């Protein structure tokens, strides 16, 4: 149990204070990606409510299917 906690502590400390230039660059890229994903989510989906999609709306968009003869 203590070895798992020690491993997680080492992982978090490596992410917070990277030691090598490569590790620092990786942390910067991951943070930039996280910020980008959050911005895209905010801009594309600002309203948390789901749009209504009942059977009538779906039939209007797709159209009524007719059997081929």
Q: What is the pLDDT of residues 14-26, one digit of tens each?
A: 878 888 898 889 8
pLDDT at residue 34 tops 90: yes
The reported pLDDT for the residue numbered 29 is: 92
pTM for the model: 0.52
The reported pLDDT for the residue numbered 65 is: 65
Average pLDDT over residues 22-40: 91
DSSP for the chain? -HHHHHHHHHHHHHHHS--SHHHHHHHHHHHHHHHHHHHHHHHH----SPPP--HHHHHHHH-------
The reported pLDDT for the residue numbered 36 is: 94
């Amino acid at each position: 149990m203590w070895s798992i906690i020690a491993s997680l502590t080492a992982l978090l400390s490596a992410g917070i204070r990277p030691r090598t230039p490569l590790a620092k660059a990786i942390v910067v890229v991951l943070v930039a990606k996280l910020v980008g994903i959050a911005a895209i989510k905010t801009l594309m989906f600002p309203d948390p409510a789901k749009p209504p999609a009942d059977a009538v709306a779906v039939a209007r968009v797709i159209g009524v299917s007719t059997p081929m003869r």
